[in-house]
Amino acid sequence: MNNVLYEKIMNKEDKIALIGLGYVGMPIAVAFAKKVNVIGFDVSEEKVSLYSEGMDPTKEVGDEAIKQTSVEFTSDETKLQEAKFHIVAVPTPVTNDHTPDLGPVKAASKTVGKNLTSGSIVVFESTVYPGVTEEVCVPILEEASGLKCGEDFKIGYSPERINPGDKVHRLETITKVVAGMDEEALENIARVYELVADAGVYRAESIKVAEAAKVIENSQRDINIAFMNELSIIFNRLGINTKAVLEAAGTKWNFLNFSPGLVGGHCIGVDPYYLTYKAEQTGYHSQIILSGRRINDDMGKYVVDGLIKNLIKADVSVKNAKVAVLGFTFKENCPDTRNTRVIDIVDELREYEINPFVCDPEADVQEAKDEYGIMFTDLKELKNLDAIIVAVGHKQFLKLTQEDINNMFKEGQNENKVFVDIKGIFDRKTFEKQNYRYCSL
């Protein structure tokens, strides 16, 4: 194979195929299509139809870029037979008991296998625990294709690092880690990714190393946020402003810049479970990683407990209190609601017989309805409230003035109004001066 495949892709004799056109796969497809011929495959006909009409439901590259791209969007798997370089970018979620759900990556492997031709390279981008690519995906590829890995086709791994909603850290600006089953595969994979990774590629020494590197990136972030959440619980008990403490500590050059909050999404809230699952198989029970997960998974309940205490202090009847939750996505300025932990707040409120109004102008409306049964309320319709929980810091919420917020509450004494600003995006002193019951993590 040598670098022949790379040369053929460059000369547009061979194509690249993206399998999975979500928040990760679609921007990769669009980036590659500026240089080479690309097929974008997804099992969702609805998603493919939107892309074909020039619409970007993920808001990752925007409608204009989708309209102009030369990506051939399809839900016909036989089109994959036209490609020789396959990139699998499907989600790897966890089940309700926090064990890895390899269903999507197994299904994608089978689809690629059925349409795999000799001389191809298959690269997995989905986050997995070390060993999945070689021990789970390869046998599926071989069985579905009738081809032999290492002889008829090669495999590699290149963990995705796209940060949904982040306009600074993009595919082009992030160093791309790549790994191949042998030197030849590694060189072809590295050269192909160099077409779009302007920040360069890092050649990992093995596929397992690359898989492990990805899974610890998000585990590290998860643990750091868990530490901040634990500090927040302690400082709230001591009556100290956590944000003020972090700002003071942050003046030291090596203090890490993390803040408390809800930890959801399809990476940080999921990846640590992949690593601890694999660790359990070797007989090791995680101490730090799972402790961090427990803290972060309990933050929705902690937020609601604080709200209930404040409603009681405000002399508001808890049952049927009018509460609005601003923001439902897993992070700000992004329509993605997958694994959002705001649902924990909604569910916990319902335990107290409070049916909250949920408002999110950024969220994917259909996804929220299908996945969680959530129907959104328009911001303008929020009136006569007893409490507001600002769960996500969307730009649209940051534009709200003090008067806008005042108008959402019931008329009456401000000391009877509860304002929960989870991430402390509003000015605490302004609310406290007006005698609001303000609290944040």
Taking only the tens place, the pLDDT of each residue in 184-240 is 999 999 999 999 988 899 999 999 999 999 999 999 999 999 999 999 999 999 999
Q: What pTM value is reported for the model?
A: 0.90
Is pLDDT above 90 for 388? yes
Q: Which residues contact 201 (CB under 8 A, 6 or more apart)?
A: 175, 176, 177, 178, 190, 193, 194
Give me the mean pLDDT over the 388-408 stretch.
93
pLDDT band at 160 (very low <50, low <70, confident <90, very high): confident
What would be the CATH architecture of the domain defined by 298-439?
Answer: 3-Layer(aba) Sandwich (3.40)
Element (H, E) at 273: helix 271-281
Domain ranges of the chain: 4-205, 298-439
* Whether pLDDT at 105 is above 90: yes
Write down the H helix ranges in 94-241.
103-114, 132, 138-145, 183-194, 207-238
Which residue of the set 137, 149, 267, 439 is catalytic?
Answer: 267
pLDDT for residue 340 is more than 70: yes
Percent of the chain with pLDDT over 70: 97
3-state DSSP percent of the chain in helix, strand and coil, to 5? 45, 15, 40
- The DSSP call for residue 206 is S
Q: Could you tell me the pLDDT band of residue 329, with boundaries at 50, 70 and 90?
A: very high
Band (pLDDT 50/70/90 cuts) for residue 167 is low
Indicate if 439 belongs to the active site: no
Query: Which pLDDT value is given to residue 2?
Result: 62
Given this model, what pLDDT does residue 265 score?
Answer: 76
How large is the greatest C-alpha to C-alpha distance in the chain, in angstroms? 76
> If you average pLDDT over residues 342-365, what whole number do you get?
95
pLDDT digits 0-9 by tens, 7-63: 999 999 999 999 999 888 999 999 999 999 999 999 999 999 999 999 998 888 889
Query: How much is the pLDDT for 320?
Result: 84
Element of type H or E holding 358: strand 357-359
Q: Which fold has domain 4-205?
A: Rossmann fold (3.40.50)
Strands 153-157 and 176-180: antiparallel
**What value does the mean pLDDT take over residues 240-251?**
95
Instruction: Give yes or no for a contact between 30 and 215, defined as CB atoms under 8 angstroms apart.
Output: no
pLDDT at 296: 95
b/e string for 309-327 if b means 16 or more Cβ within 10 A? ebbeebebebeebbbbbbb
* pLDDT at site 96: 86
* Statement: residue 176 has pLDDT above 90: yes
Per-residue confidence at 252, pLDDT binned at 50, 70, 90? very high
HSE-CB of 310 using CA atoms within 13 angstroms: 24
pLDDT band at 267 (very low <50, low <70, confident <90, very high): confident
Look up residue 295 and give its two tokens: 């803290």
320 against 39, higher pLDDT: 39
Cα–Cα separations (whole angstroms), residue 332 to 272, 362, 363, 365, 391 = 22, 8, 10, 15, 9
pLDDT of 406: 92
Mean pLDDT on 361-388: 93
Rounded mean pLDDT, 320-344: 92
Per CATH, 4-205 and 298-439 having the same topology is answered yes
Tell me what the pLDDT averaged over the chain comes to.
Answer: 92
CA 383/CA 376 separation, integer angstroms: 15
Q: What is the per-residue pLDDT for 115?
A: 97
Whether residue 171 has pLDDT greater than 70: no
